[in-house]
Structures are given as C-alpha cells and as structure tokens.
Amino acid sequence: MSDDLALRAERLDAADELAKVRDRFVLDDPEETVYLDGNSLGALPAAVGPRLQDVIAREWGRLRIRSWDESGWWTAPERIGDRIAPIVGAAPGQIVTGDSTSVNVFKAVVAAIRMAGPGRDEVLVDAATFPTDGYIAESAARMTGCRIRAVAAANLAAQIDANTAVALVNHVDYRTGRLHDLPGITAAAHAAGALVVWDLCHSAGALPVGLDEHGVDLAVGCTYKYLNGGPGSPAYLYVRRDFQPRFDSPLPGWNSHRDPFAMEAAYRAAEGSPRGRVGTPDILSLLALDAALDVWDGVAIETVRAKSLALTDFFLECVAAYVPEGLVESVTPVAHEQRGSQIALRCVGADEVMRALIAGGVVGDFRPPDILRFGFTPLYTSHADVLRAARTLGSVLGSVSEGIT
C-alpha cells in the first residue's frame, strides 16, 4: 500500500499544473519540513522581500512624501482590491483593501442594517462563527437597536425572514473546514428581502467564490492565509456595485471623503469602493500584499480548486492507510461541495499530537479541545508533502497514544 501511494504521489505531482508556482515561494526543504498551516499564515512569496527593500530604500527613503503620487501609494487600496477581485469572482471597482477583517466586518454589518430599512431588527450569525465575527455582530446589533440570534449555518436559509436585516456567515468554518452554501443562503436572504455579509477568510484563494455571479451583497476577508500577504496583512471589503451609493459606513474617515484634502468639516462620502476606506492606508503592508499577489499571475482559481480537492482527498486516503483505525476521526465533510481546503481531524490529546508533529517536521495547528487542523495551499503544497504528513501522523499517533491511553 505505501509503495502504491508513493507512486501515485509521484505521478500526481508530475501532472500538476501548479507545480511551477511552488518556486514563487520561500519554502523549506520538503525532506525537513512540510508546511500545512497556510490556513493560518501563508508562506512567503519570493517577490515580497525585494519589493519591500525598494519601497523602503527608494519610495520612502528617497522619494518620501512624493511617493503618495509618484509611486501610487494613494490609490493602492483600490488598485490592490482590483487584483484580489478576480480571485473571488468580482469585477473591478468593488473591493477596497485596508484595515483588519474585524473592522471590515463592523463596517459591513452596520451598513447592511442601515440599508435593510425599517422593521428589520434581527441580525443572524452563524452559530459556529469565528469568535470575532460574533463579538462584532453582537456589538453592531446593540448599537443599532437590533437583536442577535445564532443559527447553525446549515439552517440559516430557512431561518431568514421578514425580521432579518442581515445574516453574517463564514464561507468556510474555521474549525471543521466545512464549506457553507453561499449561493443558496444568499438567494434565500434576497427572497426574504434581507442582506448577507460573507466572511471569506478561509475560502478566498482556495476555491471559487463567485461574488458577482451569486449576487453577494457584502463580503470581507483577510489576506494572510491563502492569499499569502504576510502576518497582519490588510483585509478587504467588497460592496456590490449597485449598493455602493447606499453604503453608509459607520466609520467615515478622512480617506473616504469625496475630497479628502479639502479638509471640510462636513462629511461627504466618496464614490465607489473608496467609500469603504477609513484612515491613512498602511502602505508597507499593502505593498507587501501587492507583491505577494504576483504569485497569482497566470493562475486560474478553478485549477486551484481542483488541486485542493485532490490534495485533501489524497490526505484522507493516506491517513486511512497510515493511521491505526480509531485514533482519528475526520470532522471535515467528505463531499466536495461541502469541503474547503483544510482537513480537521479529531483525536485524543490533539495538543500533544500537534506538538509532536511539528517537532517531526509537519506543521499544522491545534484547535481546542481535540482538533488537528491541516491547511492545504494548492499553490505550493505537493502530493509528496501530503504523503509525508500522513506517514508522520501515523508514527506520532502510534507513540503518543501509548502515553495518553
């Protein structure tokens, strides 16, 4: 069996359309380290270091204030947003980059409540949401006089009604890797006259999202996972084009003013996606992200999705082959239409197991109380990586379980 799996890994990697993209990243020797934590922090694209050296030495060091115009700093939030747009299925002019995901969730939820109109006083949240989304939604509801209700994502479409102002949903569950029904939930919300804000943190860059195709109202996402923008890299905000004139941001900063340098006392909102800005753009991290997005040149998101499913399928098969039966249980759906780009395995002593895996050169992560998470970034993960990870997991579980049971 192990020889068969090794041969298959070799054949799959030889046929991999994305194999050449791996060279665009700074990676460890795969014989030493297999990195399967791109769903928390993507690997470093090789173009980022030289780009930032130029930004620091020339644009900031010599041009200084002139770089706002001469180096395009001022328009970077929209320009980089337009580079993210095709990855998430959006036309240009609908995404602005900047601030954190949390800040953008706040903008989007409050603006959605304001656009929903009178009589709609309920905010629905995915019951298994990433904690910050829940915290922000609860605060936004409290500030706007709404009530909040947590609903399992699988039941959201049926729970949206005439009282719903907005539903906030994670496209992929951060803990289990379950892919939620973006087209179905969005359509159900629209049928009931409500809006949806989608959190794309665990889907953008790993699978097709289709924001425009599915009529998504508002979406937010981070860029340091599958988009590989670096630790704390700026998030982004998508506002559907026909909603932009009505988008009433709860954080109207000088950068989202129609004429920022007029320094007017009264606020007049900018046209288009700049309406989602707040303060001065964080240029160093924005330009690091800009360089990181070069890895997507010539890459189709459909190819990424096909490889993601192949990697996760192969990992599950290798786990079944190398891990003794009964030691792990996958909580990630088997069905492709319900799976993101990670596999979450439940096991006893998961924290200790993950520490042993990392010591053995396989880097994933742990989520309490008992989940091992493995994120598969198709741009740089190989089938050989997957095979080695499963082998190491089997070895670790064989030894660690003896001390736990």
Cα distance between the two ends of the chain: 28
Distances (CA, A) of 379 to 4, 259, 297, 301, 344: 25, 40, 11, 10, 20
Helices and strands in the chain, H and E counts: 12, 15
pLDDT at 400: 58
Q: Looking at the domain assignment, is residue 309 inside a domain?
A: yes
- Residue 270 and residue 347 in one domain: no
Which residues carry out catalysis?
Answer: 130, 199, 224-225, 373
pLDDT bucket at 290, cuts 50 / 70 / 90: very high
Tens-place pLDDT, residues 84-124: 999 999 999 999 999 999 999 999 999 999 999 889 999 99
Q: What is the mean pLDDT of residues 178-206?
A: 98
pLDDT bucket at 404, cuts 50 / 70 / 90: very low
pLDDT bucket at 129, cuts 50 / 70 / 90: very high
CATH of the domain at 113: 3.40.640.10
- Residue 85 and residue 206 in one domain: yes
pLDDT bucket at 381, cuts 50 / 70 / 90: very high
- Residue 284 and residue 308 in one domain: no
- Which strand ranges, in their side-by-side order, compose the sheet holding 195-199? 95-97, 236-239, 218-221, 195-199, 164-170, 122-126, 147-151
CA atoms of 307 and 381, how far apart (whole Å): 9
Tens-place pLDDT, residues 357-375: 999 999 999 999 999 999 9
What percent of the chain has a predicted confidence (pLDDT) above 90?
A: 97
pLDDT at 326: 94
User: What is the residue range of 11's domain?
Assistant: 2-32+299-404
pLDDT at 3: 73
- Residue 129 and residue 222 in one domain: yes
Q: What is the mean pLDDT of residues 221-230?
A: 98
Q: Looking at the domain assignment, is residue 221 inside a domain?
A: yes
CATH of the domain at 22: 3.90.1150.10
Using the predicted structure, report yes or no on whether residue 349 has a pLDDT greater than 80.
Answer: yes
**Residue 313's Cα: distance from chain center in Å?**
21
Q: Looking at the domain assignment, is residue 37 inside a domain?
A: no
pLDDT at 114: 97
DSSP, res 37: B
| Single residue among 296, 322, 353 that ends a domain in this structure | 296
Closest-CA residue to 38 (of 375, 379, 389): 375
pLDDT at 358: 98
- Residue 261 and residue 311 in one domain: no
- Residue 16 and residue 66 in one domain: no
Residue 371 backbone dihedrals phi, psi, to 5 degrees = -110, 125
pLDDT at 398: 86
Q: What is the mean pLDDT of residues 252-260?
A: 97
- Residue 291 and residue 328 in one domain: no
Using the predicted structure, report yes or no on whether residue 343 has a pLDDT greater than 70.
Answer: yes
Bridge-based pairing of strands 25-26 and 44-45 is antiparallel
Instruction: Answer with the residue of higher pLDDT: 346 or 403.
Output: 346
Q: Looking at the domain assignment, is residue 41 inside a domain?
A: no
Q: What is the mean pLDDT of the chain?
A: 96
Using the predicted structure, report yes or no on whether residue 405 has a pLDDT greater than 70.
Answer: no
- Residue 278 and residue 319 in one domain: no
Distances (CA, A) of 183 to 54, 119, 168, 177, 214: 42, 25, 14, 18, 6
Torsion, Cα of 326, 330, 333, 334 (10° steps): -60
- Residue 220 and residue 73 in one domain: yes
Q: Looking at the domain assignment, is residue 39 inside a domain?
A: no
Domain count, the chain: 2
Q: Looking at the domain assignment, is residue 45 inside a domain?
A: no
| Single residue among 296, 313, 340 that ends a domain in this structure | 296
Using the predicted structure, report yes or no on whether residue 341 has a pLDDT greater than 70.
Answer: yes
Q: What is the mean pLDDT of residues 171-197?
A: 98
- Residue 269 and residue 201 in one domain: yes
Tens-place pLDDT, residues 33-69: 999 999 999 999 999 999 999 999 999 999 999 999 9
Q: Which residue has the tokens 């892919």?
A: 179
Helix, strand or coil, per DSSP, at residue 343: strand
Closest-CA residue to 251 (of 270, 277, 281, 219): 277
Check if the beta carbon of residue 165 is closer than 8 Å to that of residue 116.
yes
Q: What single letter denotes the amino acid at residue 140?
A: A
| Single residue among 270, 296, 322 that ends a domain in this structure | 296
Using the predicted structure, report yes or no on whether residue 228 has a pLDDT greater than 50.
Answer: yes
- Residue 206 and residue 332 in one domain: no
Q: What is the mean pLDDT of residues 201-220?
A: 98
